[in-house]
Amino acid sequence: MNRPRIEPGVTLEGFLIAERIHRGGMASLWAASHPDFDFPLLLKAPVLAEGTDPAAIVSFEMEQMILPRLSGPHVPRFLAQGEFEGHPYLVMERIPGPSLLPTLERLPLPWAEVAKLGSRIALALEDLHRQHVVHLDVKPSNLLTRPTGAMVLIDFGLSHHDELPDLMGEEFRLPYGTAPYMAPEQVLGHRRDPRSDQFALGVLMYFFLTGVRPFGNPQRLSGLKRRIWRDPVPPRQLRPDCPPWLQEVILRCLEVHPAWRFPTAAHLSLALQHPDQVKLTARAEKLAQDAFTTVLRRRFTAPPLPLPEAKTPARHDGDAPILAVAVDLSPEAAPIAETLRTMVARMLTTLPGARVACLNVLKQSLITLDATHDTEGRNLHLRRLVELKSWAKPLELEEGRISYHVLESPDPASAILQYVNANHVDHVVLGARAGSLRRSLLGSVSSPVAAQAPCTVTVARSRRLRKADFTTMEDESGGGWTVG
């Protein structure tokens, strides 16, 4: 896993690195070139320094899966990628136009310019949604302009793809996104609704029109949730020249319930292009926030924000259950890791549509600050991820049917149980230490998982698998566990 340092003059698989363009909290962007491509290139690599947030690695995995599946004028053209086993990177076309970030220096904008810009962004979002992707991080720095005027969406590390495992949603309980632009349902952990991007666009148009963010820039979850019950100041109070139809459109985008927004981003774009066809409601004439009594009633007595029904272990999608396998990657556990792989392979022969989630827990200390790199300077989270992928490689599962999750916790059993409960896993497979049956049942990880998981749990020891080695027991909730 020795990796060349990314710096100007270094060549990675034919791509020559030039100057660094940007360094963010999760990734760095570098100018690049290649003799086979006669246009400017951009190389993106995750930040792997000491103390790096594990979400940086997971979000980069997501972008590696999503970007190659996208096409069209509203996304960068994908060219190549480096895997985590070597040096993780993405190479794409470098969009020559600027992002919308410098626009913040000249706010507020004329209302006609806001409407035109909003329509162009909505068209880009519609194209993205038709490709099964919800962006979930629409903001000025992630919107670029081609010379043709087409808007380009970048940075898909927080995105959700309908046909791919949602690694960000599965591994992290707190919502990830940019605080001012997050939709209420996104704050609550729902990441599948394309109308969440409409909310973000509504925030952007409001901000560009008034120079004020409608919900501020909260830094705590409690502040993020405030947008669920507190309506923003109507744009026309801050910009009297804003036409009623534009306020109607913006406030409709900012509705708490996704169903109250536009049906699609295409409908939103048409509304911005044809103001004479916008149906005006009470939103258009509103000049003040709701009364305090109304806000209190909404906060304490209104029903919770409705979200689509989640899949439950008892209602999996036909023959496509989620099979989670917790793998101990320590050298002494190699025999049982091999046993688990054999067991999973056998299960998959009877479940051809099953999705496999490979889990490993990077144990953390309760009282001391843990190092994120080993003595050789290798990122521990990334190292475990590579080892997990190596363990699963013989299963030969195509992308979309397998995902890899390195969980960080001082309590491995709790981390596994949290993942199982949050993601409605149908079956858990994990190993127990070699020894007596009593030792297997009372193991520090397998025992609490088998006792508390709301689904079937298979606990195995490293020995030759025979049908007689396993018995199934049902728990009170109808789930069960199989003991080796």
- Between strands 15-23 and 27-34, the pairing is antiparallel
- One fold for both 11-93 and 318-483? no
- The CA radius of gyration of the chain, in Å to the nearest whole number, is 25
In terms of Cβ atoms closer than 10 Å to its own Cβ (0-12, 13-18, 19+), residue 358 is buried
Cis amide bond preceding 108, omega within 30: yes
Q: What is the pLDDT of residue 465?
A: 44
The one-character DSSP state at 78 is E
Cβ 304 vs Cβ 188: under 8 Å: no
Q: Which two tokens stand for residue 364?
A: 């953390």
pLDDT along the chain (484 residues), means of 10: 73 92 86 94 85 80 94 96 83 93 96 98 96 97 95 96 89 88 95 97 98 96 94 97 98 96 95 94 95 88 58 42 89 87 90 87 71 74 89 88 88 89 86 55 70 87 50 37 38
Please give the pLDDT value at position 363.
82
Rounded to the nearest 10 degrees, the angle between the axes of helix 54-66 and helix 380-392 is 40
* CATH code, residues 318-483: 3.40.50.620
This prediction has a pTM of 0.78
Task: Quote the Cα angle for 127-199-145, to 5°.
Answer: 45
The CA distance from 396 to 391, in Å, is 11
Sheet containing strand 78-82, edge to edge, reads: 11-12, 15-23, 27-34, 37-46, 89-93, 78-82
The answer to whether 325 and 340 have CB atoms below 8 angstroms apart is yes
Does domain 11-93 sit in CATH 3.30.200.20?
A: yes
pLDDT at position 196 is: 97
Residue 369: the pLDDT is 57
How far, in Å, CA of 466 to CA of 470, rounded? 8
The encoded tokens of residue 143 equal 């919107």
DSSP 159: -
Give me the residue spans of the domains in the chain: 11-93, 101-300, 318-483
Distances (CA, A) of 213 to 23, 68, 229, 241, 473: 25, 34, 16, 18, 55
Fold of 101-300: Transferase(Phosphotransferase); domain 1 (1.10.510)
Q: What pLDDT does 483 receive?
A: 37
**243 burial type by CB count under 10 A (0-12 exposed, 13-18 middle, 19+ buried):** middle
Task: Please report the pLDDT score of residue 92 as a whole number.
Answer: 97
* Whether the Cβ atoms of residue 52 and residue 25 lie closer than 8 Å to each other: no
**What's the confidence (pLDDT) of residue 466?**
46
Q: Strands of 471-474's sheet, edge to edge?
A: 402-409, 355-363, 322-326, 427-431, 456-460, 480-483, 471-474
Q: How many CB atoms lie within 10 A of CB 456?
A: 22
Measure the CA–CA gap between 358 and 428, rounded to whole angstroms.
10
Collapsing DSSP states into helix, strand and coil, what is residue 269?
A: helix
